[in-house]
Structure 1
Amino acid sequence: MEWFVTGLLAVAALLVLATRKRRNVVSVEEKAPYVLVERLFSPAERSFFGVLEQSLGDEFRVFGKVRVADVLGIATCQTRAAWQKAFNQISGKHFDFLLCRPGDLQPVCAIELNDISHTRGKRKRRDDFLHHACAAAGLPLVFFPAQRAYLADDVRGAVAVALGAPQMQAADGDVVFPELLAACRGAGSS
């Protein structure tokens, strides 16, 4: 008799679990609560993306809205809890743009486009965290202030500086980066 009661309780428990699982999954008859967003980038991000592509040409592949956890890994941690804490800090964040070498798509430089919201405490702490995480991983991170227009030469120059490209003074006083392409191709390789 005892095994019969135990069996009934087990069947009842399985039915309860199955019912709960079904409630968490959208059935074919139900409409999923998702909609397509109008655009991947905000107008400011789209404008900057165009300048990035124009200024860097074929030197890089430009990717947008890349999850930080897909670019930065977690070093060996002493405990699973420490690993999980480190992962949680990066899993919900993304880089606005990621520059990769065209041949092997190795990440070379991350870019953040900062609007006025980045002057607030929480956003500043996020930017500081990203800066330190990227520095620890050896990934240059460049912050650009959001503005109405961007000059391709300024964008190219800031990326070149981040990658450590040699620079020299031009006759007209501008800074030029004659070795940008070579430096970009070598960035991130050991």
Structure 2
Amino acid sequence: METFSASIWPIATVAGVFLLVLALWLRSSGKNKLARMVYQKKVELFTEAEQRFFRALQEAVANDYLIFSKIRIADIISPKRGSAGQDTVEAFTVIAAQCFDFILLEPNSLTIVCVVMAAEKIDSAKQEKLQTICDAAGLPLAFFNLRNAYAVRKIRDQILQLLQDTPLTFTESYGRIEPHISNLEDIQL
């Protein structure tokens, strides 16, 4: 009996070392998987056409607004609180993987003022869907076609007109509400 147990120790030791090496290899292979994937940095954030538009947009509104770009829609619009669970999931799914091309912010408060989409060819179905989403959120949305050259004044005028035509909204923790005067008799003229 002693010889049997004495002869099993070397086998058990070898098996234990083998299992330990196997476990360490499996653990490290998960970490190295990311390292083995091929990644590269993009050289430019914008295409040439997007760069031209960005520069024109900067010239048009940079004195009044900060411009951020390529921001996920879900980072600035979310489904309304209190919506049914499935409705919330569906609403989020619609916006989850999409981005706004540009966002205009009020420079002091960093409040989102307007979002801008610019494309060589604007898909009318996508435009309608984005317009519906932005209207529901009370967020002004401007569309521009990418071109070789821009009339900066036209860009500025279109954005200012959009902001003028869009009702002022205030953000509340439970959604957006329209400001209103509850009692006209209390106004002193």
TM-score using structure 1 length: 0.68
Change in 2 beyond 3 A, CA 1:156/1:50 = same
Alpha-carbon distance in structure 1 between the residues aligned to 2:124 and 2:159: 21
How many residue pairs match? The answer is: 148
Identity %: 26
Alpha-carbon distance in structure 1 between the residues aligned to 2:34 and 2:49: 39
1:102 matched to 2:102: no
1:56 CA drift (Å) = 1.0
Alpha-carbon distance in structure 2 between the residues aligned to 1:76 and 1:70: 15
Q: Which runs of 4+ in 1 moved over 6 A?
A: none
Comparing 96-105 with 70-79, greater Cα deviation is found at: 70-79
Mark the runs of 5 or more structure 1 residues left unpaired by the alignment. Answer: 1-14, 166-182
- State which of 93, 102, 111 in structure 1 corresponds to 2:98: 93
1:148 matched to 2:148: yes
**What's the C-alpha RMSD, in Å, of the aligned pairs?**
2.8
Alpha-carbon distance in structure 2 between the residues aligned to 1:65 and 1:26: 30
1:39 matched to 2:44: yes
Alpha-carbon distance in structure 1 between the residues aligned to 2:60 and 2:113: 16
Q: What is the SS of the residue equivalent to 2:58?
A: helix
TM-score using structure 2 length: 0.69
Alpha-carbon distance in structure 1 between the residues aligned to 2:71 and 2:140: 15
Q: What is the SS of the residue equivalent to 1:143?
A: strand
Equivalent residue number for residue 177 of structure 1:
none
1:91 CA drift (Å) = 0.9
Which entry has the higher C-alpha Rg, 1 or 2?
Answer: 2
Q: What is the SS of the residue equivalent to 2:39?
A: coil
